[in-house]
Amino acid sequence: MAKRTDDVTNFRVNRIKDLENMYADEASTASRYNRTLTANANIIRTAKQVRELLDKSIANREQIVKLSKELYAKNPIYMQVIEYMANMFMWRYKVTPHKVYTKSKANARKKLKEDDYMAIYRLMLEVVDGLSIETKFPRLLTTLLVEGAVYITTVSNDESITIDTLLLPNKYCRKIGETQYGTALIQFDFSYFDNLGLTKPQLNEYLESFSEEFQKGYRAYKKDSMNNRWQDLDPHFSTGVLLNEYSLPTFIYLWGGLLDYEKYQDQELERHEDLLHHLVVQTMPHYEDKLLFEVDEVKALHNSMKKKIDQGERVKLVTTFGDVKVAHMADSDTTENKALEKAFKAIFNNAGFNSGIFTGESVEALRYSLIRDKGYV
């Protein structure tokens, strides 16, 4: 009796396994239902996660700046927004000579000869030309928008009579106040030079590209690294520009829109692919709730038909109990899908832009958008 029960049990188990194998789809479809979570739980994949990160942005500034730099390097839409703002203007300059007043009456009455005046004028033109305003300003703005702050110092070259503008690393700079002109007073962390990993000859050569102020500051830091790590820089030659009080790259907010847009793109692609797929349903006959075929016979019929039908990715065979019919995996959608278009516009709305700047709309809307964007820069 026990053996008979075991036989029935084994028969049912085997029958269920056969049914599961018969209805199991191919590996590509099965994997869709067996997805495992990524080992790195810190990866941000949704707009909600972006907003949660920004809620804690002050404490996570370094992480946000890093993500902004990666996004600028990888995502063409994010890069396009920043490049648009940074290169909106064609930067030009003019030099206007004026008389320098002095307390000395003798110097005040002294007239400058025309040759001397022109020599000084040409010298000033060379100095201003050395600033490379046309190329430096877009670069400064790009760094400002990507990292949330930009810190600079100027170095003069007496031999070539030029002034060069150097960008200082944000990580090693901080604002401590403002001058009476509204420019930033900044401090520099001189451990920066030790963290470069350069040999002593390489470091000495690199230090020569900085001003004497930095070279003296580094020597002071080496004598007392505890008290001289952060040092004030001369505001006549060094300053910083912050995008906001916390130096946060505010355009990172559009990252949520980018994630939504990519998600909608995948959904739209999958929808169009499903329109090309067909499902062949083979139904096994039955009479008065009894199968006319045994499970192994059904399996054999399934495999036989599968050789003829299920030979590609666009036609799939499913065996059930009843008639045979062919169906689309998805119904044809004749209505225009607006979700993708709205998601694309939402990206620029999150950045505070009119999406028509990049996609083209009415001339009047573009004109007012340009006025507003120029005011922002």
172 vs 188: CA distance, rounded Å: 6
247-299 per-position pLDDT tens digit: 889 888 888 888 887 777 776 666 665 555 666 777 777 766 676 677 777 77
Place of tokens 């099965």: 30
Which residues, including other chains, have CB under 8 Å from residue 62's CB and lie 6 or more apart?
Answer: 171
330 vs 318: CA distance, rounded Å: 16
Comparing CA positions, the residue from 376, 143, 148 lying closest to residue 249 is: 148
The structure tokens listed for 198 are 């350069």
14 vs 280: CA distance, rounded Å: 26
pLDDT at 232: 94
pLDDT at 241: 92
pLDDT at 250: 86
Instruction: Give the pLDDT of the chain (377 residues) as one tens digit per residue.
Output: 555 556 656 665 665 566 555 544 444 444 444 444 333 335 777 778 888 888 888 888 888 899 899 989 988 888 888 888 888 777 777 777 666 655 555 555 556 677 777 777 777 777 777 677 788 888 999 999 999 999 999 887 766 667 788 899 999 999 999 988 888 999 999 999 999 989 999 999 999 889 899 999 999 999 999 899 999 999 988 999 998 888 889 888 888 888 887 777 776 666 665 555 666 777 777 766 676 677 777 777 777 777 666 656 666 666 665 565 655 555 555 444 677 777 777 777 777 776 666 665 566 666 666 676 666 66
Which residues, including other chains, have CB under 8 Å from residue 140's CB and lie 6 or more apart?
Answer: 150, 152, 165, 167, 241
pLDDT at 216: 94
pLDDT at 29: 43
Q: 175, 230 in Cβ contact below 8 A?
A: no
3-state secondary structure of 329: coil
Task: List, as one string, the DSSP characters of 70-94.
Answer: HHHHH-HHHHHHHHHHHTSS-----
- Angstrom distances, CA of residue 249 to CA of 75, 123, 141, 146, 183: 15, 39, 12, 6, 20
The structure tokens listed for 373 are 């964007």
pLDDT at 38: 37
Could you list the beta-strand ranges (E) of the chain: 149-157, 162-168, 173-178, 184-189, 230-232, 238-242, 278-283, 286-287, 290-291, 315-320, 324-328
Q: Classify residue 257 as left (phi > 0), alpha (psi -120 to 50) or beta.
A: alpha
pLDDT at 110: 59
Query: Can you give the pTM of this predicted structure?
Result: 0.61
- Angstrom distances, CA of residue 268 to CA of 100, 264, 330, 339: 68, 6, 12, 9
